[in-house]
Amino acid sequence: MTHFAILTPPYAGHLNPMLALARTLVDRGHRVTFVAQADVGPKVERPGIGFAAVGARSHPPGRLARMTARLGGTTGLFGIGGVIRDMADTTDMLCVEVPGVLRQIHAGAVIADQTEPAGGLVARHVGLPLVSVANALLIDREPTIPPAFVGWRYDPSPRGVKRNLGGHRVADWMMRPLLETIDRRARAWSLPGIETLEDCLSPTLEISQSVAGFDFPRVAPPAALQHCGPLRLPESRSWEPRPGGPNVFCSLGTLQGARAAIFEAVAAACARLGLPLTIAHGGRLDEARRAGLPGAPRVEAFVPQRAVLRTVAAVVTHGGLNTVLDALAAGVPLVVVPLAFEQGAIAARVERSGAGIVIPRRRFTASALAEALAALLERPSYRARAEALRDEIAAAGGVARAADLVERATRPRR
C-alpha cells in the first residue's frame, strides 16, 4: 500500500474533489495525508485521512481567512495581483517545508493540484511519483485553446491562434511572481527544463474533473491526460422539490455568496416567471439581505447540491467548475453569469456545448435572466445537450476510475 501526500490550494473547489479521491484511496487500504497551512486542518479532518501542518511562521492560523477574503472580492482581470502574490508565497513556503514532511511521514507518492506547482517541484526534488489533478480547467496550453482566465470563444483560425498567444503572454506577465518562484526553486534543486506551471505537471498521469465533450477541442492532448469526470463520493441524501412548477437552483459557490444584487435579480426573475427558487449562499448573505429577496425563495447557507440538482429544471450560477459539472452530471441546463477568474472560460464552454446560456455581468438584469430561463425551459435542445454531457460524465468513471489510475501510475515497479 502507498502513503500519498496531497498538495492543493486551500479552497473548497479544490479541497472537496481531493477529499473524495483521498477517501476512495483510504478505503482501498492506502494512507493519505494532506500537507498544508494549519487553517486547512479542520477542512480536511476525516476518519482515516491525515494532516500535516506547515508554514507556522509565514502562514499562521488566520492567514487563510485573509486570503479567502481577497479571493472572494476579486472581479476584474487586473484585480488579482494580490491573489497571485498569495499563490507565490504559498508555493515558496511549501517548497521549503514539504520535503522534510514527506521524509518524516515516509510518503510514497505525491498527488498535486495542477495549480499548485510546489507539488511537481517537490516530487521531482525528492524523487517521488507524481500525479497531477485538474480540479479547475486544464492549464495545459495549446495554440487553439484560449487562456483559462478569459471568456473567449473557441476559434482555431490563424486570427484566433494569434489572439490566444497574445493572451498567454499577458497571463505570463501577470503570473510573474509565481513563475519567478518556480524558476528560483528549480534552479536551487537543479531541475532542468522547469519554468512554467505546465512544466510542473506529471509526465505520467494528469486526471481531469472535466470530460472531453465539455472542453474545447484539443489537437494534441497530453499523453498523460485522463478525463475522469467530477470526483465525487456516492451521495444518498435526498431533496424535496418545491411545489408550483419547474424548480430553479442558484449558487454562486463558496467565495461569491455575498453578492446580494445577483441573488436579488435571480429571485425577481423567478418570481416574474412563477418558478420556485432555492438559493445557496455559502453562509455569506446576512439576514437582512435574505429577508429582502423578492418572491418567496428558499434560502439556505448550504444544501446537498447534487441532491438538489436532481430535482430542478435549471441552474443559475457564476460558473464555478464544480457547480457546472454537478449540474451537467444531473443533465440540467444552466444560465451562467461569470464573475471572476476562470468563470468566463467555463461559461464559454457551457455556451459552446449548447447546454446553457451566458449572460455577461455587465448585461445581467432580472429581465435578461427571466428571458434566459424561459428559453432553457421552452427549448428542448438545452436539456438534450445537458443530458448528452450527463451520459459522457457517467461513462468517464469518476473518482473510482481516478483511484484506479492513481494506483496504476504509482505502483512500485520490480
Same domain, yes or no: 195 and 106: yes
Residue 236 in any domain: the answer is: no
Same domain, yes or no: 60 and 172: yes
Residue 234 in any domain: the answer is: no
Same domain, yes or no: 168 and 289: no
Same domain, yes or no: 118 and 200: yes
Question: What pLDDT, on the 0 to 100 scale, is given for residue 80?
Answer: 74
Question: What pLDDT, on the 0 to 100 scale, is given for residue 82?
Answer: 76
Residue 79 in any domain: the answer is: yes
Same domain, yes or no: 183 and 256: no
Residue 186 in any domain: the answer is: yes
Residue 241 in any domain: the answer is: no
- Grid cell, residue 31, equals 494512507
Question: What pLDDT, on the 0 to 100 scale, is given for residue 285?
Answer: 81
What pTM did the predictor assign?
A: 0.93
Same domain, yes or no: 223 and 359: no
Could you read off the pLDDT tens digit of each residue along the chain, which spans 414 residues?
999 999 999 988 999 999 999 999 999 999 999 999 999 999 999 999 999 999 999 999 888 877 777 666 555 444 577 788 889 999 999 999 999 999 999 999 999 999 999 999 999 999 999 999 999 999 999 999 999 889 999 999 999 999 999 999 998 998 999 999 999 999 999 999 999 999 999 999 999 999 999 999 999 999 999 999 999 999 888 999 999 899 999 999 876 766 789 999 999 999 999 999 999 998 878 888 888 899 989 999 999 999 999 999 999 999 999 999 999 999 999 999 999 889 999 999 999 999 999 999 999 999 999 999 999 999 999 999 999 999 999 999 999 999 999 999 998 765
Question: What pLDDT, on the 0 to 100 scale, is given for residue 180?
Answer: 96
Same domain, yes or no: 259 and 203: no
Same domain, yes or no: 401 and 391: no
* Interatomic CA distance for residues 236 and 24, integer angstroms: 16
Same domain, yes or no: 22 and 47: yes
Residue 332 in any domain: the answer is: yes
Give the contacts of 378 (CB within 8 A, at least 6 positions apart).
none
Residue position matching grid coordinates 455568496: 257
Number of domains in the chain: 2
How are strands ordered across the β-sheet holding 334-336? 298-300, 277-280, 248-251, 314-317, 334-336, 356-358
Q: Any idea what the CATH number is for the domain that residue 191 is in? A: 3.40.50.2000
Residue 242 in any domain: the answer is: no
Question: What pLDDT, on the 0 to 100 scale, is given for residue 111?
Answer: 98
- Grid cell, residue 346, equals 467555463
Same domain, yes or no: 210 and 311: no
Give the contacts of 398 (CB within 8 A, at least 6 positions apart).
228, 229, 230, 231, 232
Q: How many CB atoms lie within 10 A of CB 35?
A: 27
Same domain, yes or no: 266 and 216: no
Question: Would you say 117 and 197 are in contact if contact means Cβ atoms under 8 Å apart?
Answer: yes
Same domain, yes or no: 84 and 173: yes
Residue 148 in any domain: the answer is: yes
Range of the domain at 122: 3-229+397-410
Question: For 157, what's the count of Cα atoms within 13 Å in the CB-facing half-sphere?
Answer: 4
- Grid cell, residue 209, equals 474533473
Question: What pLDDT, on the 0 to 100 scale, is given for residue 73?
Answer: 58
